[in-house]
């Protein structure tokens, strides 16, 4: 019986970790941060900044990266505190405002990764973090949840496409009915004048 309780507790902990990771990866990263990161990365000014950043010594890059990372995480924690304390709008606003800074921090990591990895402790922490992410993704519960999310996303896309075809297309039955109604109302108004 004690083993069953431990197994259930372990499964619950795994589920919580997987849900948090999926929530971050799918909703926040894929939906919001990745598009911002791609826009930031495409900016021409960042090409010049990338060249400049790569001329800096690794220690300066590390300090800048850690400062940005601490700032982003502090905003995230404070946004969570605000959200839980009932200031949902302020918490959500703060969290959303941190996303461009997080995307810039991710960009900085990507363009200076080789210099950051020259620090043994940093490389060790990065490898441990990647191992944890690998462990999360190797869990059956993660794979099952992702499969369900992909099916849900596909059905949502089909539903949205159907809605657009039925109600927003130029020649959809709904639009044609609205145009007929508009013409009928327009004629009726002209007759009254």
The string of pLDDT tens digits covering residues 22-81 is: 656 655 666 666 676 677 666 667 778 888 888 999 999 999 999 998 898 888 888 878
Indicate the range of 14-28, 49-63, 113-127, 139-153 predicted with least confidence.
14-28
> Measured between alpha carbons, how far is 65 from 123 in angstroms, rounded to an integer?
14
Average confidence score pLDDT of the chain? 78
Q: Using an 8 Å Cβ cutoff, are 139 and 79 in contact? A: no
CA distance 11 to 72: 30
Q: What distance in Å separates the CA atoms of residue 133 and residue 55, rounded to the nearest whole number?
A: 31
* DSSP states along 157-170: HHHHHHHIIIIIST
């Amino acid at each position: 019986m004690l083993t069953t309780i431990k197994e259930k507790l372990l499964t619950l902990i795994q589920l919580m970790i997987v849900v948090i990771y999926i929530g971050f990866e799918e909703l926040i990263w894929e939906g919001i941060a990745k598009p911002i990161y791609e826009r930031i990365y495409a900016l021409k000014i960042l090409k010049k900044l990338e060249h400049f950043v790569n001329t800096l010594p690794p220690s300066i890059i590390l300090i800048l990266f850690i400062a940005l990372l601490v700032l982003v995480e502090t905003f995230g924690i404070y946004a969570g505190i605000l959200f839980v304390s009932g200031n949902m709008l302020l918490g959500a606003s703060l969290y959303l405002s941190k996303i461009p800074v997080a995307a810039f921090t991710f960009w900085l990591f990507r363009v200076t990764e080789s210099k950051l990895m020259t620090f043994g402790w940093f490389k060790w922490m990065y490898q441990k973090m990647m191992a944890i992410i690998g462990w999360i993704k190797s869990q059956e519960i993660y794979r099952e949840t992702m499969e369900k999310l992909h099916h849900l996303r596909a059905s949502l896309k089909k539903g949205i496409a159907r809605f657009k075809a039925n109600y927003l297309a130029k020649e959809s039955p709904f639009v044609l009915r609205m145009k007929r109604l508009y013409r009928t109302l327009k004629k009726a108004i002209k007759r009254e004048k």
